Structure 1
Amino acid sequence: MKYFLTFILLVTATFTKAQIRLEQKDLNNLIAISELYSYNTNAKGDKFAKAIDSLRTPKLNHIIDALIAVGKGDMTILENRFLERPDNEELVLWYVIREIHYNRINEKLTPRPVAVVANEVLSKKIDSLWLLGNYYYRIHGGIATLFNDADLSKHNFNIDGLGFKDETEKAIFFLNMMNTLVGGRFKVLQMMKNNKKILEFCDKLPKFNDKEYFYFKNFDYDDFDWIGYDKTESYNERHIGGFYSILIAQFSAIAELRGKKDAQEIYFNSILHEPKYFKFTPSKGDLQSLYDKSK
């Protein structure tokens, strides 16, 4: 019996007990914010900012502040009050925003009443890792906009000081930030064969825990199912796989334009040289061959 109870505690530990009861005004305003967001996911414009600002309540203030910061796309979005891990209750409210948005745009399903969607989210248990990833995805637009022009090379993300509960949560933050900053950009630039531009963005990237991003290798957590827009997949295949694409893009660009020594720094200090993670990327065959030659 003792071991059974321990097992149950372990299984439920990663789930947030939603079952959150909101005051009617909080619920109504959260639904209104969600609908406004769904039609303007980058939170752009004074009209949007004024509209959600009028929906403030003490419980919703941080959500509204974050969305306004996303719309501005300036250094405000990098303040710790937005990068720090929100508490579980707020994370659930952000998930309401997500689900109301997907309820509207999913062409495969008939949209349900928004109040039904909101109450369903508030009443069920949701994996806290899904909740956390969703939060950083919802604010990513402001960071991406900022990085269009900003040089963040002197900025440091102190991951250890952002209130994460374990290494999995730290990895979720890191992988989300890297994808936001250069994931999509590098894919486009690689197709355009513009290695010079790839390196221009690399030179503007921030540090993580006072080191270049490619030194981050803390991925020794159990893989888990990840629910995207309309399908469930391996978290690591999607996100570590995407991170490999970033590393490969920079490694290839540096090897071509800056030489072997700089390329070796990235290779030997990153997961490009860690075979245990190769299984998460379609490039595993090429990486294994390169690794075998490097020994």
Structure 2
Amino acid sequence: MRPILIIALFLLTTFSNAQVTLNPTDLKNLLAISQLYSQFPNGGDKFAKEAEKLRTPVLNHMVDALMVAGNGNKEILENRFLARPSDEELVLWYVIREIHYNRTNEKQAPRPDSTVANEVLSKKIDTRWLLDNYYYRIHGGIASLFNKADLVKYNFNIDEMGFKDETEKAIFFLNMMESLIGGRFKVLQAMKNNKSILEFAAKLPTFNGKAYYYYKRFDYEDFKWIGYDKEEFYNERHIGNLFSTLIAHFSALAGSGEKKAAQEVYFKSILHEPKYFKFTPLKDDLQSFYNQSK
């Protein structure tokens, strides 16, 4: 295959060519939803009351997802919210993101919301950025739900959720883990609260029928990504966070005398996969531990 054709195919598969055209009502309501989100990023009754007035056939799913995420109940785990949305809808979610950041960025004067929206709607955006943004926008509902909910009976079959490739599947998985236990485990580990770490670990859902630490399908090419306003490599941030989560889990098990369970987390996860160590600042320690474990 000629190099120019390879480049063309890559661009077609990683950039959304869904330059979205909205009718005046949809655009007006999308702007209003974005403004509401920026005021109430965690949802709530006032958000729900106002968002309900902004429904259109194009925006219904977005309104539903934002309201359910704000409620923090188990509806957020339904396939209609966790399965991959269309490229067109993902672009609308990116409008919400860009308007929110434009309004909250203290480093520069905000531009008109309509200018920001039209800019997003008219340009091609990496679909990996779009997909990651969607799961980030609803992550608060998942995190809030897991404060009390036992999800051990839930299983997410990632291969049946409409994702286009291994990169998209990893984006979903990494976002789910960060929503459920990523930041939570960091705080609990700093507090040396092994008991709570293990309590949360015991009520996690499974992915493809197995415990979360079995998932290690990360053999796609890393890519540049913008979280808030800084460009970085996606895997360094997100797989790096997963390493921190796994280390916290492993350490809690080892510190509680659960040797067999700790060994399973270590040997079945990316903690025992040297090819992924480059994504964490702890790579030298992990390599040393790996060398001793052989």
- In structure 1, the partner of 2:100 is 101
Q: For the Cα contact (< 8 Å) 1:18–1:121, is it kept in 2?
A: no
Following superposition, the deviation at residue 18 of structure 1 comes to 3.9
Matches within 5 A, 1:244-283: 244-283=243-282
- In structure 2, the partner of 1:37 is 37
- In structure 2, the partner of 1:17 is 17
Following superposition, the deviation at residue 120 of structure 1 comes to 0.2
TM-score by length of 1: 0.97
Matches within 5 A, 1:181-196: 181-196=180-195
What SS does structure 1 have at the residue aligned with 2:225? strand
Matches within 5 A, 1:1-295: 3-44=3-44, 46-295=45-294
In 2: Cα distance, 1:6 partner to 1:122 partner: 27
Q: Which range moves more in the overlay, 273-282 or 153-162?
A: 153-162
Q: For the Cα contact (< 8 Å) 1:66–1:139, is it kept in 2?
A: yes
Following superposition, the deviation at residue 3 of structure 1 comes to 4.5
In 1: Cα distance, 2:237 partner to 2:6 partner: 31
What SS does structure 2 have at the residue aligned with 1:211? coil
In 1: Cα distance, 2:259 partner to 2:6 partner: 52
Q: For the Cα contact (< 8 Å) 1:133–1:176, is it kept in 2?
A: yes
TM-score by length of 2: 0.98
In 1: Cα distance, 2:254 partner to 2:190 partner: 17
In 2: Cα distance, 1:277 partner to 1:185 partner: 23
In 2: Cα distance, 1:217 partner to 1:6 partner: 27
User: 1:247 is aligned with what amino acid?
Assistant: L
In 1: Cα distance, 2:135 partner to 2:110 partner: 25
In 2: Cα distance, 1:168 partner to 1:211 partner: 19
In 2: Cα distance, 1:40 partner to 1:30 partner: 15
| Identical columns (%) | 69
In 1: Cα distance, 2:84 partner to 2:261 partner: 34
In 1: Cα distance, 2:266 partner to 2:124 partner: 41
Q: Which range moves more in the overlay, 103-112 or 16-25?
A: 16-25
Offset from partner CA, 1:58-85 (integer Å, 9 cap, x none): 0000000101111111010000000010
Q: Which range moves more in the overlay, 94-103 or 158-167?
A: 158-167
Q: Which runs of 5+ in 1 are unaligned?
A: none
User: 1:16 is aligned with what amino acid?
Assistant: S
User: 2:8 is aligned with what amino acid?
Assistant: I
Following superposition, the deviation at residue 288 of structure 1 comes to 0.6
What SS does structure 1 have at the residue aligned with 2:106? coil
User: 2:168 is aligned with what amino acid?
Assistant: E
What SS does structure 2 have at the residue aligned with 1:16? coil
In 1: Cα distance, 2:242 partner to 2:32 partner: 35
Following superposition, the deviation at residue 186 of structure 1 comes to 0.9
What SS does structure 2 have at the residue aligned with 1:249? helix
What SS does structure 2 have at the residue aligned with 1:99? helix
In 1: Cα distance, 2:87 partner to 2:291 partner: 44
Aligned length: 294
Offset from partner CA, 1:136-172 (integer Å, 9 cap, x none): 0000011111000001111111111110000100000
Following superposition, the deviation at residue 211 of structure 1 comes to 0.3
In 2: Cα distance, 1:17 partner to 1:268 partner: 42
The 1:3/1:233 distance shift into structure 2, 3 A limit, reads closer
In 1: Cα distance, 2:242 partner to 2:35 partner: 32
Q: Which range moves more in the overlay, 24-33 or 279-288?
A: 279-288
In 1: Cα distance, 2:221 partner to 2:2 partner: 24
